[in-house]
Structures are given as C-alpha cells and as structure tokens.
Amino acid sequence: MAKDLTDDERGSFQAELDRLREEHRDLDAAIEALVDLGRVDQLQVQRFKKRKLALRDRLSFLEDQMTPDIIA
C-alpha cells in the first residue's frame, strides 16, 4: 500500500532505485564475465544471483511505495 510521499522521500526513493538498478546491471555483467572467461566459480555465481534476487525484492518494494494506490 503506497502512502503519500514528500518530495524529499520521493527523491530519496528514486536515488535508491537508480543505485539498486545499477548494482543489478553490474551483477549481470559480472556473472556474464565469469561465464565468458570460462572461470565459472559456481559459489560466486550463486552469491551474485542471490544478491540480484535481494535487489529485485528491494526494487519492487520501493516501486510499490512510489506508486499511488488506485481504487478500482
């Protein structure tokens, strides 16, 4: 359920969203680089993927907070 956000809160959420999206893209690139180099450390790849899932959860939460409730 979204609440009314102040401009400062909205700006803070947007900055965090931008940072998390960049980190998510960086993890994608790191995973791809590990695979392309042929040095697949399965434990490291698993850690990166777990971090990506945590980022996706946080991104979804923030996006939900920024989206106003729509009463159907």
* Confidence band of 1 (pLDDT split at 50, 70, 90): very low
Which amino acid type is present at position 57?
A: D
Per this entry, what is the length of the chain? Answer: 72
CA atoms of 49 and 53, how far apart (whole Å): 6
- Between 2 and 42, residue with greater pLDDT: 42
CA 17 vs CA 13, 33, 50, 59, 72: distances in Å = 6, 24, 18, 6, 27
Determine if the pTM surpasses 0.85.
Answer: no
**pLDDT tens digit sequence for 37-68:** 886 788 998 999 999 999 999 999 999 988 87
What whole-number distance in Å separates Cα of residue 42 and Cα of residue 8? 41
Q: What is the residue extent of each domain of the chain?
A: 39-65
pLDDT in tens, 23-40: 999 999 999 988 888 867
Q: How confident is the model at residue 19 (pLDDT cuts 50, 70, 90)?
A: very high
Contacts of 58 (CB under 8 A, 6+ apart): 20
